[in-house]
Structure 1
Amino acid sequence: MSLSTHVLDTGRGRPAVGVPVRLAAADGTELGAGVTDADGRLAGLPLPAPGRYRLVFDTAAWFAATGTDGFYPEVVVAFSVTDAGAHHHVPLLLSPFAYSTYRGS
């Protein structure tokens, strides 16, 4: 099992480069971390078993790095994995005053 994410800066209409992202188990144990690449993507995060997980996007750091005043200092996306054989993709659409997410493919 693996996990990827893609962060899009909807205010600028382009990928969100350099967003720090952490993957945590439901109990808060960190399982992996990284930053989004030039296309706003981060791949290869480990999902050890079916269960509940959280992706934590450090939007405060990213907003500061881009000189943007943002309302949300972090975005936490909690999700459940039931299919042990599937790849999971969690996109984040981000702007200074709103965000949205969905299960991608």
Structure 2
Amino acid sequence: MKRLQHLKAHITVSADETAMAASLPSPLTTHVLNTAQGIPGANMSLDLHRQDPSSSVWILLTTGRTNADGRCPGLISTEHLVAGVYKLRFETEAYWKELGETSFYPYVEVVFKIREPSQKFHIPLLLSPFSYSTYRGS
């Protein structure tokens, strides 16, 4: 029960956190939650890519690492976010190895399409050693 309460605290966003997130320059955010332990997915490496529409080749835009709260602020500026297909690649095997765990998935790639770049996009990743899920958050 305590683990669920801890997880709920990280999923529920307060008004102060919402105001702080709104002031961040990145229109694209992510949040990794280790659902197996009920803690943020801290210190996980990730990459952001955009697909070249003419060749379908993935272009690396930026790399990052989640902070202590499992978030990676500043992924991309508003000016660089254009309509297209994007991919966030999370290095899950290295994350679990650092925690002394094994994992079924060596990495997780979340591919999504942005049609209206003026909107805000939040891509959470809920993760355990043998499963993951994601959704478009707000």
Which category of TM-score, normalised to the shorter sequence, fits these structures?
over 0.9
Deviation at 1:38, TM superposition (A): 0.5
Matched, 1:54 2:87: yes
Matched, 1:20 2:20: no
Say which of 100, 115, 123 aligns to 1:67: 100
- For the residue of structure 2 that corresponds to 1:29, the secondary structure is strand
TM-superposition CA deviations, 1:58-82 (whole Å, max 9, x none): 0011011111111000000000001
Question: Of the two structures, which has the highest relative contact order with CA contacts closer than 8 Å and spacing of 6 or more?
Answer: 1
- The one-letter amino acid of 2:65's match is V
Matched, 1:76 2:106: no
Which consecutive unaligned segments of at least 5 residues does structure 2 have?
1-25, 52-56
Find the aligned partners of 2:41 and 2:84 in 1 and give their Cα distance: 28
Task: List, as ranges, runs of 4+ consecutive aligned residues in structure 1 with deviation greater than 6 Å.
Answer: none
Tell me the number of residue pairs that the alignment of Structure 1 and Structure 2 aligns. 105
Partner of 1:8: 33
Find the aligned partners of 1:65 and 1:24 in 2 and give their Cα distance: 25
Partner of 2:7: none
Structure 1 vs Structure 2 CA RMSD: 1.1
The range that moved more, 93-102 or 45-54, is 45-54
Partner of 1:45: 75
TM-superposition CA deviations, 1:4-39 (whole Å, max 9, x none): 100000000010111101001122111011100000
- For the residue of structure 2 that corresponds to 1:94, the secondary structure is strand
Structure number with greater Rg is 2
Which consecutive unaligned segments of at least 5 residues does structure 1 have?
none
TM-score (structure 1 length as normaliser): 0.95
